[in-house]
Every structure is written in C-alpha cells, then in structure tokens.
Amino acid sequence: MNYSSSAEQAALHYADAYQKLYKRPPRDLRILDDDWVMVYGARLRSSELQYLTLQLQSEYRPETTERRSVVMRLLKWFKS
C-alpha cells in the first residue's frame, strides 16, 4: 500500500487552499521529510502547515477577505 506522509498531505492541502485564495500555486513549497516542509523559506512541521492551511481557508471565505495578510505575518514569525 502507498501511504502519504503527513508532510505530503499537509503540503497538498496547503497548495490547494493557497491556489483558491491567490489564484496561483505557491512558489516555494518543498517537502523535506515525513514531518517537515519548507514554505517560503520557513521550515515548518506538518502540523504547523495544517494550521496555516486553516488560516488560508478562513481567509478564502468572503467575510474575512480583508485579513489575507495574516498568513504572511505568520510565515514571517515562523521564519524568525
């Protein structure tokens, strides 16, 4: 059987949510190993990426579109 790692699943969900919100795929999204991903230079656990994905999905909802920059602020925070 072929099981996807948690990092692969998190990356796929993130890429889908990002595409819906920004109308383009994420430019820098890499799977490092089973539990780590790299997103725009920030090394994150798959659980952290799942949290960012939830933030993206909430930004996609019409009633919260004015808060789109929260994901970029979170990424900057994770990078530091």
In the 3-class helix/strand/coil scheme, how is the chain assigned residue by residue? CCCCCHHHHHHHHHHHHHHHHHCCCCCCEEECCCCEEEECCEEEEHHHHHHHHHHHHHHHCHHHHHHCCHHHHHHHHHHC
pLDDT above 70 coverage of the chain, percent = 85
65 band by pLDDT with thresholds 50, 70 and 90: low
Report, as an integer, the average pLDDT of 6-11: 93
Question: pLDDT tens digits for 37-55?
Answer: 999 999 999 999 999 999 8
Instruction: Write down the domain spans for the chain.
Output: 6-79
Single pTM value for the model: 0.72
